[in-house]
Amino acid sequence: VLTTTGAFLYVTQTQKSPPDQLPADKEKPTLVVLGSGWGATSFLKSLDTEEFNVVVISPRNYFLFTPLLPSVTVGTLEPRSIIQPTRYITRHKKRKVDVYEAEAQEVDPVKKTVTFQDLSDIRGAAGSVTIPYDYLVYAVGCENQTFGIKGVTEHACFLKELSDADKIRTKLMDCIETAAFRDQPQDEIDRLMHMVVVGGGPTGVEYAGELHDFLIDDLKKWYPEVADRLRITLIEALPNVLPAFSKQLIQYTESTFAENKIDVLTRTMVKDVKDSSVVVQDANKQMREIPYGLLVWATGNTSRQITRDLMNKLSAVQTQRRGLLVDDYLSLLGGEGVYAIGDCTATSYAPTAQVASQQGIYLAGIFQKLGQKAKLERQLAQLRAAPNASPEEIEATVKKLNRAAKLTPFHYSHQGSLAYIGSEKAIADLPLFNGNVASGGGAAMLFWRSAYISTLYSVRNRTLVLADWLKVKIFGR
């Protein structure tokens, strides 16, 4: 707490607002950052902007703390508690950073330009703009995978953006209110009160857990007439949920779900989505239809269109459909001056916030060195031009320059995996004591809470999240 408060006081005392920042400098290279998610934000936070004119382009002007997004779907947390405006970060930078709320639509790696568009539909919205870059940090993340299954986009809710959580919350309450409406037929109540989650990865599991809490803590009090009719079904194509977790934690999750009356249908694949039912194929290749009120689709990630276009432009070297290929220094194969981080890349790491944020911090280090190099090159040129510069001075600068040019490859350090599974229980797979320690239950839940509170980017977010948790304990959702 003391450290946090100290850091907070330090930041507020040394904070810059645009008038105190260095203005743009035509002599310095332009660094364009695409995205405001985990990768881009951790990069921006650690970046020294003195040697660059930085431009940030993202369709959302804030950072979203995705690990706590499932809690927003049922009102455990308020949406504003888990977002941080991008300008909050950039206003502390030495040199002014331009932030545009816009969607990048095309990257031309040959001309070294980015085209982006203001997506707002208000009068006066700017159109499409193309700007050149010297360096590009590509961190646009991924979009939801649908496997081309018919009806998913039209009828299901995703869980990736803040607007998705809001949509789920509204639809969930609509289902409950409509089920509680007078004279509803019994089978219609059952359908409306059936919440189906597709995908047994961490997103689907955490959502099912949150939904269960809402049922137990609140629904029973507020809607006693229909609360007992609520059913939660989790559908997973593989033989078990959470394939990335240890066997012990998979069993713990499945038994907790069984206790909590969450039906888990494994080896079951959704084949078609209709407006009020899903068609599934089970392990015996039997097809059947499952009616639902709310359908949440959490079957993982796929590349965005802009990323696929970029891959096509560099098809000689970009040969993975899964994402962009980068070298050990996160430099994009085939793209001069382009670096790619996070979910949009195809690396040996899972697409997680942990990986994206470590890559962002690493890349800020690379740019620190690029900046130092540019400064030293200028110093060296001046020394060489000066009639009275000593050879020792020149040699020392050359040595510094060589050191700045030396880069170490990116190394990922896995801090463990955590997931909330409902009823005040979490699971934690931690790499401790030269092995993996698996823990599930209330202690893991406290660990989950404290880990996320300390990872939240600002004191403001920490305070809001703690206050939301307290509010729910006292007043309910």
Q: Where does this chain bind ligand NAD (CB under 6 A)?
A: 67, 147, 198-204, 206, 235-238, 243-244, 269-270, 298-301, 350-352, 417-419
Closest separation between CB of residue 128 and ligand NAD, Å? 31
Question: What is the C-alpha separation between 342 and 456, in angstroms, rounded?
Answer: 18
Binding footprint of ligand FAD, residue count (CB under 6 A):
33
- The amino acid at 246: S
What is the smallest separation between the CB atom of 209 and ligand FAD, expressed in angstroms? Answer: 12
Rounded CA gap, 110 and 315, in Å? 13
Q: Give dist(CA 467, CA 461) in Å, integer.
A: 10
Q: Which of residues 79-118 bind ligand FAD (CB under 6 A)?
A: 103-104
Shortest distance, position 416 Cβ to ligand FAD, whole Å: 10
For ligand FAD, which residue of 352, 358, 439, 461 counts as binding (CB under 6 A)?
352
* Token pair listed for 235: 């559908």
Q: What is the DSSP letter of 80?
A: G
Contact 411, 431 (CB under 8 A): no
Q: Which of 28, 45, 194, 304 binds ligand FAD (CB under 6 A)?
A: 304
Using CB under 6 A, which of the segments 56-64, 192-200, 242-250, 435-443 binds ligand FAD? 56-64
277: Cβ–Cβ under 8 A, 6 or more apart, which residues?
289, 290, 291, 292
Place of tokens 């089970």: 282
- CA proximity to 366, closest of 52, 96, 109, 23: 52
Contacts of 111 (CB under 8 A, 6+ apart): 132
Region binding ligand FAD by CB under 6 A among candidate stretches 10-18, 65-73, 88-96, 168-176:
65-73
Cα–Cα distance between 420 and 436 in angstroms, integer?
A: 18
Q: How far is the C-alpha of 360 from the C-alpha of 127, rounded, in Å?
A: 30
Q: Which is nearer to ligand FAD, 79 or 291 (CB)?
A: 79
Q: Give the strand pairing for 417-422 and 425-432.
A: antiparallel
364 lies in the binding site for ligand FAD (CB under 6 A): no
**Shortest CB 145 distance to ligand NAD, Å:** 7
Could you tell which of ligand NAD, ligand FAD, none binds residue 260, using a CB distance below 5 to 8 A set by kind? none
Pick out residues in 327-346 that bind ligand FAD (CB under 6 A).
342-344
Residue 177 CB, nearest approach to ligand FAD (Å): 25
CB 324 within 8 A of CB 346: yes
Q: Quick check: 191 binds ligand FAD (CB under 6 A)?
A: no
**Per rule CB under 6 A, is residue 149 in the interface with ligand FAD?**
no
Please identify, among the stretches 138-146, 264-272, 371-379, 403-411, the one whose residues bind ligand FAD according to the rule CB under 6 A: 138-146
Between CA 337 and CA 456 the distance in angstroms is: 31
Binding site for ligand FAD (CB under 6 A): 34-40, 57-60, 66-67, 69-70, 103-104, 139-141, 159-160, 203, 304, 306, 342-344, 351-354, 356
